[in-house]
Structure 1
Amino acid sequence: MQVYRNITPDEIKRLILRPGKNTIEVEQIVQPILNAVKHEKDSAIHNYTHEHDGVLLNTLEVTPDEKLQCSQLLSDDLKAAIKQAKENIQKFHEAQRNPTLEMETMPGVYCWRKSLPIQKVGLYVPGGTAPLFSTVLMLAVPAKVAGCSEIVICTPPQKDQTIHPAIIYAAELSGVHRIFKIGGAQAIAAMTYGTETVPQVFKIFGPGNQYVAVAKQLVNKDGVAIDLFAGPSEVLILADHTANPVYVASDLLAQAEHGKDSHCLLVTTSKDLLDKVQIHLKKQIETNSRSEIVQASIKNFRLILVKDMNKGIAFSNLYAPEHLIIATQNARDISEKIENAGSVFIGHHTPVSVGDYASGTNHTLPTNGSAIAYSGVSLDSFIKKVTFQELTIEGLKNIGPIVKEMAKAEELPAHSNAISVRLNDNG
């Protein structure tokens, strides 16, 4: 844990940087896996699943019997929670639909844009250190709302060849068509190139470890679309003297338990809060069941004291966090000054946990400062927007001379001729 009480401009530049990784080394491990799956297909997947997950699979796909049994293995309370979360996520994403608006840009020239679903999408759901069934909801629900005709999931198998029943239950509830017991870079390769068992998709979504993240980057070069490059999870808490140090400590640790490379920052105007948060962090770590991960992650914690809230806001906008908590008085007013963030959590009673699971917003968000230009996953992520235009004869006569003049200036005579032959035929 690093504490900063008087940061200089040079320190600010250093503090907004995330812990670096040598992606070249990771690429050298991942690329052969991609190549093997591309050429050897199911055979390569079985080999890598045995090598990396320690599992010899009888079948790569979750069977109908496994789907039927999953509900019996979960408590009624958990199933009710998953159902309510699914409803909230569905409501929020359905509200993002854009109507098709047609307009006449000049007399006789009609233009419109229509949203069409990406037909085949692949969803990667991590299952290593925790079974992230919430990710199923965050990806499958908007895919279903968008109208994707084929939705498949890849997720790592457990040692007994099964998938955690909550992942299967969430997938069935959300309308996923097929579920495969495949993890790591080999899962990304399977969805990119297709195998005897796994269908090829047009776009891949989902978080994962560094091997999954780099695999997504590499297959993107082969033409498959990806949602975003998901790095280690991160949170920045912007707080003043009104913040509760117990809440702040709990929010930092909630993010820290995602992984040893999580990045957690507190930026505050209160020296008293800074001191108390350190005390409560130590207390809460002692009772955390994932203390090994948290203890490693806490090395990346940065607790920063700033002169005033304007300085804090400026730092946050430079850092562009994946998650931003505003734990201040007048938090809603401060939120209006935020320019760069994946998702914003306003006030003392809005932890990131609600967005991770059930508020309705999506938890697949830009990391590593990419929130300066990228958005998180939304309904738009699962659709493409196609433009249309239609001209009447009147419209052709109105716009034709304009196009001919521009084509002449660009020295593209065939463009001009495509107008001229039509105008000649229509007087």
Structure 2
Amino acid sequence: MSSVIPVPTTTPTVSVSGLRPPSLGAGARGLRTCTVVGTGLIGTSVGLALTARGVRVHLSDHDRGHALAAQEMGAGTVEAPSGQVDLAVIAVPPERVASTLYSCQQQQLAHAYTDVASVKAGPWRDVLAQGCDSASYVGSHPMAGRERSGPRAGQADLFAGRPWVLTPSAGSRPDAVALVRELVDLCGATAVVMTPEAHDRAVALVSHAPHVVAALMAGRLEHAEAGDLRLTGQGLRDVTRIAAGRPALWVEILAANAGAVADVLEGFAADLEEMITSLRMAAGARGPQACTGKEGVVELLRHGQTGHGRIPGKHGGPHTVYETVMVHVGDRPGELARLLACASGAGVNIEDMAIDHTSGSAGVVELMVARGAGDRLATVLGRYEWRCERAAPS
């Protein structure tokens, strides 16, 4: 039985702590007021999204400067609520979730509570140990983020189309679950129910371990020759992009999910060792041994290709193979806008786009389109004298 299912409007079959969770049907209360505790990237983005949908949002942070910055961004007000709000969103590090929840509940801050921490099993154990009211609490985690942090990085559309995990317990009140479900809907995300343990295993694979791998690869560049780095292409930028995240933040995330992350990295290390062995065979031998080494490399690359093909496509749909049209663009103001305006004349939807800044005063823009649309797009752009190249489907 799967531990990950879209949130239905009737009682789901997925188990939470071995028991059936409550119904996730619509509640009667409705989300009209909210307090966001913690105004970093996620908290501020929640405030921006809810404010845009007409919810009155109150902002709280131990660093008042952060709360004031979020207020300036339009995420809500730093004024304290005059009474109990409908929902409190606790946007603090995992190790502070339980103590913050307990404090908020002692103040009777809200009718229901959720957190948005990136791990769920540890905070849930802490909630129980702290003696919090677990009936009014529903753990959650929006699967969205940026390389930047802090309130100034907040975006109202940060969660649009993204999965948002809910981890209700068997004792969670249905009205509390409904309020958290409404939070997810108002933020434009897609609710998914998981057990805390299943969530932590999943994010170790799809988020936490990839950050470690990206950081380790980026670390190899720290003392690289400047001349070598001038050859950098989009591939290296793609692999290392998420390594720009703040180490102080990520060490807390990784420590909170250390066991699951270590399990993923252990398997990765075994594959890496196998790749090293195969490459050494291919480099230092001739004849059958060199062929064996190459075969080992190919096999590992094939596993990677197959795994990449399992990554969901847009909006969580099936993986889609796109055709890519590579367009040479001058590094001048307005060139990208002109390219997109010309592309609109082809009547082709641009599914995705990437920019590779080459050395000099030019770059390459990769326009990804549905299979079968690449030739038409390249033909139309050619009429406007754009220099195009076709890339293999990706």
Higher relative contact order by CA 8 Å / sep ≥ 6: 1 or 2? 1
Whether TM exceeds 0.5 here: the answer is no
TM-score normalised according to structure 1 size = 0.27
TM-score normalised according to structure 2 size = 0.29
